[in-house]
Structure 1
């Protein structure tokens, strides 16, 4: 499946996604922009010999015509949170606190961008190139080399990026530990985080950090994450299961005014955003103690560090804002084995972060127990398996058995193999154990370091 961007203004401009080859015939996943701002996605089919721009502009025009008219800030249709829909209503306007014309200067705070990495220099170079192209006027980039086994990352930063990128090492493995190292070393009023396998849109950092100027009570922001590649069945299946996208409507979560449509708030932190596109007010993140070092990739907890950060900030009384204008393109894992590992890790990270929250904030236990029955029902829905709508001749659990074009993750009607469902649920059972083992390992490492 090809990736493309379609700008509706200025007569229409079609270009390949970042790093993608020129468009040809076949299926195309399209990010639709208006005035440079992401407003929706479409899935189009370009016939051999047809003009891709003409086909996709016509599809976008039909979807726009079918979109219901509404007020200046319309409610998001269900399809707005669908990463790969068969159709996507495109709103005529999507005003948010950060939706300013690109020609106008946007007030932004000084910012440190933290990129934790480990032995992935090729991907890291693409990420750093995109970060250095940001239009934010006052930011620094900090690379945290986590438990390196070679000097490749240091050599890349010193050779190619010299004074433009700061480099630090963190010998203890774990994403949260690496992020905390970045928090310690950051100079900015805001600390933004992204992964080493993304390509950031030029306005990503401006859009992600501008809300902090507008709202003094804001503790955290998150942004839109779309797939940079959909070349393998595993990548398509992950994106159909929700990927990392949270829709195209800006939203603010306020702990003093809990959302009526989120009965599990704030414990369904995965709905707020993901670690590949998040930022925190530095003083707020430091006040809550940063990230729990026993969570995250690279630890026995397997994940959950970003979700932990979101809930800690909300529990401290600060608001969280999601903005789809802050866009990064993420390179999903390519193989079926990777997807199996990811499914297990997602389950483990979910319950690991919940365990971490209750260990560090035991006062939240009554609220958690009150939401537990609904939470269990939500977890069953989240991990439910679904048979493919059409058979491809493969057995259950094979990467080709995706049932054709996947549907929306909010509807939960697309194919999701039983093996992945079982792996997620096993991960959920393991998560609390993994978190406690990770805490024990950290204490052991600290004792060894002190003895040394």
Structure 2
């Protein structure tokens, strides 16, 4: 069997229409809009879907993609108008480590938000140099707050941000994203509508699709969760997710999430033995989602809250990511069993089916080269293909990546135990 040809680069575009197939209100493309193009389609500014199409040389890319949108997104209606009340005071927390160049790009987008009342807090996690502090103090003085967290790990950095935040809502994003100007308004608006909402997550789309690794990740789901808003209520478990609430991979991702500050603090914040930068490799966001739901709060997913994510560029990055997703999943489940023993009976009852489903999902990705379900590899439940995502990807998921994911799942509990041990030793050194 011939070796599949690595996928080539795909241009990333943003197309705003008055109606599907109607007048083009705006068009922007991060690359030369020729050849294969992955376009976000908006209706009067509101995201409704994506199309993947080919723009021939000399063709008008906006008109070509508008025609594809009319053909492939038939039946989509303009979203209802937003009717938020007074938006809550919000703190945006960005954890970072030695990536000042990427951080500057993210901060520029965060400072351009249309939200009327917010602050930006940068948490410098276990820094080796003063580059991040210098950037914030030199370029963003008076507009961005700088705090430092010496304990390594994303969850520890997020907890430091929670302690420093003064908002009634605390939003989190990463240093490798570019936030849409309306992101924070859309992400925090649902808190004003429903006092039972404890967490809101949003849409994550690629900023670039230039390398084979980036294209492969996005062609099998990336981080997107679709274009249909959804509310998850622990009092009314969703019928299509029998593993709920242990289906955190379908709720959202850490690069685009916000919590009611009281709900997150009452839940104990993030487990510092999880997350990137610890032996657990991930799972910090998944743990927080389940913890807030387990406390009786609702979780809302809204595609109006959009960030563009700069996917990792190399094959080794993708290998590390696949392993980390698997490890983070089972590290999260272990953390829930250790820190929330009341959930243990429900977790044990669902665990065999959940792990079998996760294994089946990795096998299905390997067997099927088409567009995958939304959600990062390793998510215990991802569901059907995301509504509004249409394209013609034909890149099979390598079996080696599925094997790495499964190996990560086996390692996750060990990684979590190692992370807890390391944290305990750190506390002992500080006390001594």
Structure-1-length-normalised TM-score: 0.86
Correspondence 1:39-78 to 2 at 5 A: 39-64=48-73, 66-67=74-75
Q: For 2:216 and 2:359, how far apart are their aligned partners in 1? A: 19
Say whether 1:379 aligns with 2:358. Answer: yes
Say whether 1:435 aligns with 2:420. Answer: no
Is the alpha carbon distance of 1:105 and 1:251 closer, same or farther for their aligned partners in structure 2, counting shifts above 3 Å?
Answer: closer
23, 36, 49: which is aligned to 1:11? 23
Say whether 1:212 aligns with 2:224. Answer: no
Which stretches in structure 2 are left out of the alignment for 5+ residues? Answer: 1-9, 375-382, 386-393
Correspondence 1:228-243 to 2 at 5 A: 228-243=207-222
Residue pair 1:218, 1:319 contacting (<8 A) in 2 also = yes
Q: For 2:186 and 2:371, how far apart are their aligned partners in 1? A: 30
Q: For 1:429 and 1:202, how far apart are their aligned partners in 2? A: 40
Residue pair 1:223, 1:273 contacting (<8 A) in 2 also = yes
400, 411, 414: which is aligned to 1:419? 400
Q: For 1:56 and 1:173, how far apart are their aligned partners in 2? A: 45
Residue 446 of structure 1 aligns with which residue?
A: 427
Q: For 1:449 and 1:387, how far apart are their aligned partners in 2? A: 47
Residue pair 1:385, 1:418 contacting (<8 A) in 2 also = no
Q: For 2:333 and 2:193, how far apart are their aligned partners in 1? A: 31
359, 363, 366: which is aligned to 2:338? 359
Residue pair 1:204, 1:326 contacting (<8 A) in 2 also = yes
Residue 170 of structure 2 aligns with which residue?
A: 191
99, 107, 112: which is aligned to 1:120? 99
SS class of match (2:236): coil
Q: For 1:331 and 1:233, how far apart are their aligned partners in 2? A: 14
Deviating beyond 6 angstroms after TM superposition, the runs of 4 or more aligned structure 1 residues are none
Q: For 1:365 and 1:356, how far apart are their aligned partners in 2? A: 11
Residue 92 of structure 1 aligns with which residue?
A: 77
Q: For 2:173 and 2:344, how far apart are their aligned partners in 1? A: 31
Q: For 1:140 and 1:442, how far apart are their aligned partners in 2? A: 30
Q: For 1:408 and 1:217, how far apart are their aligned partners in 2? A: 29
- State which drifts further: 47-56 or 188-197: 47-56
Q: For 1:186 and 1:165, how far apart are their aligned partners in 2? A: 12
Residue 3 of structure 2 aligns with which residue?
A: none
Question: Displacement, 1:407?
Answer: 5.0
Q: For 1:264 and 1:387, how far apart are their aligned partners in 2? A: 23
Question: Displacement, 1:374?
Answer: 1.8
Residue 393 of structure 1 aligns with which residue?
A: none
Question: Displacement, 1:59?
Answer: 1.3
Residue pair 1:154, 1:167 contacting (<8 A) in 2 also = yes
Number of residues paired by the alignment? 404
Residue 25 of structure 1 aligns with which residue?
A: 34
Question: Displacement, 1:354?
Answer: 0.5
328, 334, 343: which is aligned to 2:307? 328
Q: For 2:189 and 2:395, how far apart are their aligned partners in 1? A: 36
Residue 7 of structure 2 aligns with which residue?
A: none
Say whether 1:317 aligns with 2:296. Answer: yes
Is the alpha carbon distance of 1:27 and 1:170 closer, same or farther for their aligned partners in structure 2, counting shifts above 3 Å?
Answer: same
Residue 107 of structure 1 aligns with which residue?
A: 86
SS class of match (2:363): coil
Residue 109 of structure 2 aligns with which residue?
A: 130
Residue 399 of structure 1 aligns with which residue?
A: none
Residue pair 2:11, 2:38 contacting (<8 A) in 1 also = yes
Structure-2-length-normalised TM-score: 0.90
- State which drifts further: 24-33 or 52-61: 52-61
Residue pair 1:386, 1:414 contacting (<8 A) in 2 also = no
Which stretches in structure 1 are left out of the alignment for 5+ residues? Answer: 68-90, 390-402
Q: For 2:72 and 2:213, how far apart are their aligned partners in 1? A: 28
Q: For 1:373 and 1:118, how far apart are their aligned partners in 2? A: 37
